Chain A
Amino acid sequence: MTLAPNLTEIVFALGAQDRLLAVSDFSDYPPAARTLPRVGGLDASAERIVSLHPDLVLASHDGNARGVVAALESAGIPVLTVSGESLDAVLDGIRQVGRRLGRSQEAGRLSAELSARRQAVRRRVAGTPRPSAILLVWPDPPQAAGGGTFLADVLEEAGAQNLLAGRGGWPVVSSEFLATAPIDVLVLPESAETRGVYERARRSGALSRGTASRARVIQVDEAALTRPGPRVFDALEALARGLHPPAAGGAR
């Protein structure tokens, strides 16, 4: 049983989906995950989980409410908490999940393949000028990925320089900064739910003035980008392609 969508994606990627009893509410990928029973979002109900008698619960280290995890552990249900704070942590998590599900070989193959894809991206962006970028996670108020976060790691691996690297966490940045900072590229997560809000921000809101309005916009699929699962490497490649278009020989 999984308590976060990225963990569901990892289980599917390891070919262990037949072992899944239930998944978290937002587990919508791959499509087959949508037919599985749901046990709630990040604050899943411990009672419901216990009543399903899982052999193992996969929880997200940063996302899931500590109370639920503690309640499950005290009910004697094994919980594996997986961290998603960096790309390395994602690869590590895949191997951990593989071990616990008896899919160590598949996990080793998958993490090696993903790791090779990251190496290819690194080679590609090495030596090219790194455009200054901001990765927004929400436009109203404008909140961005600061240094040390998972998304900052993706942004820098894709060959950008994070303008907010000096600020930890998820700072809400001022309109003044967005209008005057030397922003080359704005990275915006793209999904059906967020499209409208970002459009409004670019038309009349925080992204409508000065340098932010002139910056190149790269949209990356939100679920792939923000969930620390296998698909984040798709997002990494898409972002690297956007930051360093191949037509220009790798340079901007």
Chain B
Amino acid sequence: MTAARGGGSLRHPWVAGILLLVGCALLGLLSGGVRLSLAALWSGAGPDGEAARLIASLRAPRVALAGLVGAALALSGAAMQALLKNPLADPFLLGTSGGAAAGAALAALCGVSPLLSPGAAFVGAIGSSFAVAALARRGGRLDLQRLLLAGLIANAFFSAVLLGVFSVATAGAARTMLFWMMGSLADASFGRVAALSPYAAAGAAVLALHAARLNLLAVGEENAAALGVDTERAKRSVFLAASLLTGAAVAFAGIIGFVGLLVPHAARAAAGNDQRRLLPLSAIGGAALLIAADALSRAVFSPAELPIGAVTAAVGAPLFAWMLLREP
């Protein structure tokens, strides 16, 4: 811990992060179209007992899914930023989300049941990651500059695929697709939370195992190699784990931007650059941010719902601009 003691502005980043997460979770449970006290939600008793039970059964899995998706996106962003040594790196930048979206859209076009679209999104994300990694490889090495460019190419290609699918899809399919692409947690259930958990856990575990190596990579690849790190393998594993996290998040909640960009940035400002702290703090912050964004998406135009991708972008872009301006 001594190596990366400095850099953070918060003395107790853990306490702050966990308090933030708990606060956002409470906000998530309490906000929405129907106003209910926490006690009523918990007990399901009182004059509106049935309504309270229904709403608790709808909101609780939603908060859980938002937290899990937010954590996955933020972890993925933190890992990619460390990998590329670029604070502007992000799973969306590298074409992972675009691949996921294109996969799901193509599946919908081919008449695959909408129930299977998460699987297709996942295949698209992983496929895009492999393609981008292959493009970025030069002489057996993963070249970081080429990786960014390959991401750019992948995004251009996938947006072409998406626009093509849109123009030939039936009106109904296009509608479902459009809302999924804008990000949605509307069909959250504990079943979906359970289905997402193993992917999120696997991605997080790989990143946790590589946190110390990421610190060494940040100092410089030559130095890391000199210290006995198999840099190529480490970079590959981190890249795949980040892709897995993004693919899973997109598959279950559509395209949600800015979480992967904003949260690691904020975590770095609060707690410094040590990946062993930065990664878990990013996960906590990402969960808190997405739960809050989802609460907003349900409350602002209730009973209508805003697409959560619009909320994260509307809140995230100005915040990010402010952070950029504050930077020395």
Binding site for B on A (CB under 8 A): 43, 138, 140-141, 143, 146, 164, 167, 171-177, 179-181, 193-194, 197, 205-206, 209-210
Residues of A near B328 (CB, < 8 A) are: none
A210 touches B50 (CB 8 A): yes
Contacts of B54 in A (CB 8 A): 176, 179-180, 209-210
Q: Is B305 a contact of A138 with CB atoms below 8 Å?
A: no
How far does the alpha carbon of A216 sit from the alpha carbon of B215 in the complex, in Å? 61
Main secondary structure of the interface of A (DSSP, over half): loop
Q: Kindly list chain A residues whose C-beta atoms are within 8 Å of the C-beta of B307.
A: 172
Instruction: Decide: A205 near B187, CB < 8 A? Known: A140-B114, A172-B305, A173-B303.
Output: yes
Please tell me if B34 contacts chain A, counting CB pairs below 8 Å: yes
On chain B, which size bracket covers the interface? 20 to 34
Which chain B residues lie closer than 8 Å to A176 at the CB level?
32-34, 54-55, 58-59, 298, 303
If A143-B175, A179-B54, A205-B187 touch, whether A174 touches B170 (CB-CB below 8 Å) is no
Q: Say how far B328's CB is from chain A's closest CB, in angstroms.
A: 43
Contacts of A205 in B (CB 8 A): 187
Most buried by B among A140, A197, A209: A140
Which B residues are in CB contact (< 8 Å) with A138?
Answer: 172, 175-176
Are B302's CB and A141's CB within 8 A? no
Q: Which of B32, B175, B176, B179 meets A174, CB within 8 Å?
A: B32
Q: Which of A140, A171, A194, A206 contacts B303 (CB 8 A)?
A: A171
| CB closest chain-B residue, reference A168 | B304
Are A141 and B58 interface neighbours, CB within 8 A? Answer: no
Measured CA separation A140–B167 after assembly (Å): 19
Give 1 or 0 for each of B21-57: 1 = CB within 8 Å of chain A CB: 0000000000011100000000000000011001101
Q: How far is the CA of A175 from the CA of B40 in the complex (A)?
A: 19
A174-B304 CB under 8 A given contacts A140-B176, A180-B51:
yes
Give CA–CA (A146, B34) in the complex, Å.
Answer: 19
Which of these, B58, B175, B179, contacts A179 with CB under 8 Å?
B58
**Given A143-B175, A167-B301, A179-B58, 10 extra CB contacts under 8 A:** A138-B175, A141-B176, A141-B187, A146-B304, A167-B304, A172-B186, A172-B304, A172-B305, A180-B33, A181-B303
Contact between B58 and A177, CB atoms less than 8 A apart: no
B128 at the interface (CB under 8 A from A): no
On chain B, the residues within 8 Å of A146 by CB distance are: 304
Residues of B135-179 whose CB lies within 8 A of A: 167, 170, 172, 175-176, 179
Q: Which residues of A contact B81 (CB under 8 A)?
A: none
Residues of A with C-beta under 8 A to B301: 167, 171
Interface bits B46-75 vs A (CB < 8 Å: 1, else 0): 000011001101110000000000000000
Residue of A nearest to B179 (CB): A141
Nearest Cβ on chain B to A95's Cβ, whole angstroms: 29
Task: Check if B184 is an interface residue, CB within 8 A of chain A.
Answer: yes
Q: Chain B 120-139 against A: per-residue CB contact (8 Å), 1 yes, 0 no?
A: 00000000000000000000
Sorted nearest first, the 9 A-B pairs with minimum C-beta distance are A171-B304, A177-B303, A180-B51, A179-B54, A210-B54, A177-B33, A174-B305, A176-B33, A141-B179
A48 smallest CB distance to B (angstroms): 16
**Candidate in A175, A193, A206 with the most chain B CB atoms within 10 angstroms:** A175
- Complex CA gap A146/B301 in Å reads 13
Chain A hits for B186, CB < 8 A: 141, 172, 174-175, 206
For the complex, give the distance between the alpha carbons of A194 and B171 in Å.
11
Over the window 172-210 of chain B, the binary record of Cβ atoms lying under 8 Å from chain A Cβ atoms (1 yes, 0 no) is 100110010000101100000000000000000000000
Measured between C-beta atoms, what is the minimum distance from B63 to chain A in Å? Answer: 13
Which of B54, B170, B304: most chain A Cβ within 10 A? B304
B59 to chain A, nearest CB (A): 7
- Give the chain A neighbours of B34 by CB distance below 8 A: 176-177, 180
